[in-house]
Chain A
Amino acid sequence: MNDSADKVDNIIEIRDLCYSRGQKEIFKNLDIDIARGKITAIMGPSGTGKTTLLWLITRQLVPDRGRILVDGKDIATMNQAELYRLRQRMGMLFQNGALLTDYSVFENVAFPLREHTKLPNRLIRHVVLTKLHAVGLRGAADMMPGELSGGMARRVALARAMVMDPEILIYDEPFVGLDPISMGVIVRLVRKMNDALNITSIIVSHDVQEVATVADCSYLISDGHVVASGTPDDLQNTTSDLVRQFMHGMADGPVAFHYSAPDYAEQLLGRDTE
């Protein structure tokens, strides 16, 4: 693909991204393209900074080096007004939902509408109930976030992320803690929204199976850079040990399950050194 085609296709381009937290280098020269209107999955073992990457894309964190282009514009050069305009076009689903605990489910979903628009109450009610219906929680509109289960809170948060009809939807671990029924519904919802509304979706997850059913393209990140990319099928049929280990959930492979530690037998049988 040549350069100009790249620009049209990709809504987000990450180039040479470097980011460290304290002494720990989280990303080293990371390059990722996110295609417009497609579902892109970002996968990787836990602790590889997948969530950090989302925070960098939305400029809640600032990279040490490298560029993140959204629609060809470097987000590092944006002022606050431009950044907020960009964020209005994005919706983000947080890992824990991040619902506002003072407000009811209904008000949580209505919150962005009330803040950004001057729509009449009747219309707001209409929009909010439609979105809640889509996630199956119209009946919970009057409940408070504290009364919801983790999975329900995530679904409400999804309704809130969709309420402004964003162009880009970002999901941080959307499938964790959902029961199989809601998982199926959410997976289909993600797919349907993407196809019907031409939304670009970015999913950060390590649920390989679920991601494989929805994603158009996956990136596997390990050790601060992309180790593999392609369609889920490509990744499934890969020859790389690391990718195979991750995709098939094997304990043995290049990624150690155990955090580096002294020899097991020695530590158990040896004398206390303290």
Chain B
Amino acid sequence: MLKNLYYEFKEFLRQFGALQIFFLRLLKNSPRVLFRRFGLVVQQVYNAGALSLVIIMVCGVFVGGVLGLQGYANLARFNAADSVGAFTAFALLKELGPVITALLFAGRAGTALASEIGLMKATDQLAAMEMMAINPIRRVFVPRFLGGAISMPLLAAVFSAVGLFGAHIVAVNLLGVDSGAFWQQMQAGLDPSDVYEGIVKSVVFGIVASLIAVWEGYNAIPTAEGVGRATTRTVVITAICVLILDFMITAVAI
């Protein structure tokens, strides 16, 4: 039992080390891809970002709407219903925007990346590229990693903006909070540092979510079952990492 635990732990460390080396290889090749093959990155920003827009916006409206409802109901007890604008802005910009976007991103774009790369591996496409003297790290992995890492903060920004819009509809248009008060309280209550915190989070989550997706695809066992498992692991591991990192960044920021 103890011995098993020891091997499991050793295996975890080995994997973690391999992941870091993989990450360094991605970073090392990133500038070259960014400058010489920017078209490939744009293509992946489209795949990971633009194609995720609908799900991000729909979720954003409803999350914002819920915040508007809850914020109004609870703040009204303290006669502070006007602060619902500041409340939703805090919640969205600092926490829910980056975190929920990262989770949705893992489900929509991360799984697509992992299964795409896993299938390319299973069907020898990566080996074929190697044989054509084309480096799959540069041609396949780096563009996908960069595409995801660039899209994620943008998606988080869209999520927060749409969320505020949803909260505005609920609080102002439905529940009758004064529109001027809604925006004024938000402006007065929010510091630039609050926005920075959200930006830092979304950038970190973007890097982590894309790295995990690409890594899981790269590491997938090249069978139908292996690719399926890699896809599942992508979502699970990203969710865990994002929530842990969220706690850590928040603890440092406060």
Q: Report A's interface with B, CB cutoff 8 A.
A: 58, 60, 80, 84-85, 87-88, 90-92, 94-96, 98-101, 111-112, 115-116, 157, 160, 164
Contact = CB atoms under 8 A, between A and B. Distances in A.
Name the prevailing secondary structure of the B interface residues: helix
For the residues of A in contact with B, the DSSP-based class is mixed
27 contacts: A60-B130, A60-B131, A85-B133, A87-B131, A87-B133, A91-B131, A92-B131, A94-B124, A94-B127, A94-B128, A95-B124, A96-B123, A98-B123, A98-B124, A98-B127, A98-B128, A99-B128, A100-B120, A100-B128, A101-B120, A101-B123, A101-B125, A112-B132, A112-B133, A115-B132, A115-B139, A164-B132
A98 B134 CA distance: 14
B130 A87 contact: yes
Contacts of B132: 87-88, 111-112, 115-116, 160, 164
B128 A115 contact: no
Contacts of A111: 132, 134
A215 B45 CA distance: 49
B74 interface: no
A99 B124 CA distance: 8
Interface string B178-211: 0000000000000000000000000000000000
B131 A58 contact: yes
Contact of A60 (B119, B123, B125, B127): B127
A90 B125 contact: no
Contacts of A92: 128, 131
Nearest to A94: B124
Contacts of A115: 132, 134, 139
Contacts of A58: 131
B217 to A, nearest CB: 14
Contacts of A91: 131
Interface in B111-143: 119-120, 123-125, 127-128, 130-135, 139
A58 to B, nearest CB: 6
A101 B128 CA distance: 12
Which residue of A87, A95, A115 has the most chain B CB atoms within 10 A of its CB atom? A115
A96 B139 CA distance: 21
A96 B135 CA distance: 21
A38 B131 CA distance: 21
A228 to B, nearest CB: 29
